[in-house]
Amino acid sequence: MTRFEVLILGNSSATPMYGRHPTSQVLNFNEQFFLIDCGEGTQMQLLRYGIKGSRISHIFISHLHGDHYLGLVGLLSSQHLVGRQSELHLYGPSALKEILDLQFKHSDTRLRYPLIFHPTNAYRQEVIFENTQLQVTSFPLQHRIACTGFRFDEKPRSASLKKEEVERLNIPVPYRRLLKRGIDYVADDGTVYSAKDLTYAPPQPRSYAYCSDTVMNADYLGAIRGVDLLYHEATFLHDRIERAKETFHTTSLEAAQVAQAVNAKKLLLGHFSARYKDLQPLLDESRTIFPHTELSEEGKWFLV
């Protein structure tokens, strides 16, 4: 099965405490590496967990609060210094480009590799990246400033042939490709060979959704419906629901409600407030509603 998993580099909200780090994650999809948010210290966390920066081809930044992007200039500069030559694609709010340009101007840095910037739109859902295997969609969240989530969808794969059967029936080679796409083969004598009988169904396409910072609302549920793994911020316990609303954040109970509402298979909580040294209560609270919850522990890989 194609590798599809996410490594947590940081699970803290804006004031990092107890050795926790600001938000960042690495998604490995079939040995393509995608960085999702890039809080301060991300380049050191990548080193700690043995991920070479040079393997990252795409970076997605949800919004311009510092705890989600302040590690970016350091990472981009280090990639420059270690001689990166391959393209790096960066997705984020348009002002991010302005911030990077200003910092590179004053450090007199001209990157030696192509950094290709793709502005995101925080006001409508759109496909921002696509290749033969994967599609990435950004969608609006509701935070204090413009903010997007990201959804990573594996593309449907074709069925695989039951080779021995196909050989035995002597089905002509050009029709085998059609069988894999679900099209029955009709022989010259009129016999119908069902694609269903001659193929193994492909694995269900998997999906991962990342909801960085947001108040809970119904608007983004459509964008994350049916995901296998849902990362959702859970800054506070529900006894601080008022504080969560004030600061445009979510409680762990609400994160569980979201996971339930969109019929996610599994929920990953993160973006923990400095208020909580012990995170178990956040996990327990979420599990009262949505048992398949995990804490996004730093350094841990989670399968999608």
Interface mask toward a second copy for 144-173; x: CB under 8 A: xx----------------------------
From candidates 28, 54, 57, 77, binder to a second copy by CB under 8 A = 77
* Residue 58 annotated in ligand binding: no
CB of 302 to a second copy, least distance (A): 23
- Residue listed under structure tokens 């890989």: 301
246 binds a second copy (CB under 8 A): no
178 binds a second copy (CB under 8 A): no
Termini Cα distance of the chain: 12
From candidates 23, 88, 93, 148, binder to a second copy by CB under 8 A = 93
95 binds a second copy (CB under 8 A): yes
CB of 144 to a second copy, least distance (A): 6
Question: Contact at 8 Å (CB) between 74 and 38?
Answer: no
Q: 104-120: buried (b, 16+ CB within 10 Å) or exposed (e) per residue?
A: beeeeeeeeeebeeeeb
Contact region with a second copy (CB under 8 A), list: 35-43, 154-162, 287-295, 296-304: 35-43
CA-based nearest residue to 232, from 146, 288, 151: 151
CB of 220 to a second copy, least distance (A): 20
| Interatomic CA distance for residues 190 and 172, integer angstroms | 15
- Active-site residue, 67 included: yes
Going by C-beta distance under 8 Å and a sequence separation of 6 or more, which residues neighbour residue 273? 13, 235, 236
Q: Considering only residues 97 through 116, tell me which ones interact with a second copy, judged by CB under 8 A.
A: 98-99, 102-103, 106-108
| Interatomic CA distance for residues 47 and 42, integer angstroms | 9
Q: Which helix (H) or strand (E) holds 211?
A: strand 207-211
Q: Fill in the amino acid letter for 116.
A: I
* Residue 271 annotated in ligand binding: yes
| Interatomic CA distance for residues 88 and 114, integer angstroms | 6
From candidates 2, 28, 78, 135, binder to a second copy by CB under 8 A = 78
The tokens for 165 are 């059967």
From candidates 3, 30, 47, 158, binder to a second copy by CB under 8 A = 47
Q: For residues 39 and 134, which CB has a smaller minimum distance to a second copy in the complex? A: 39
Catalytic residue from among 37, 67, 153, 228: 67
From candidates 44, 51, 215, 261, binder to a second copy by CB under 8 A = 44
Strand partners of residue 293: 267
Binding-site residues for Zn(2+), please? 63, 65, 67-68, 143, 213, 271
Residues forming the active site: 67
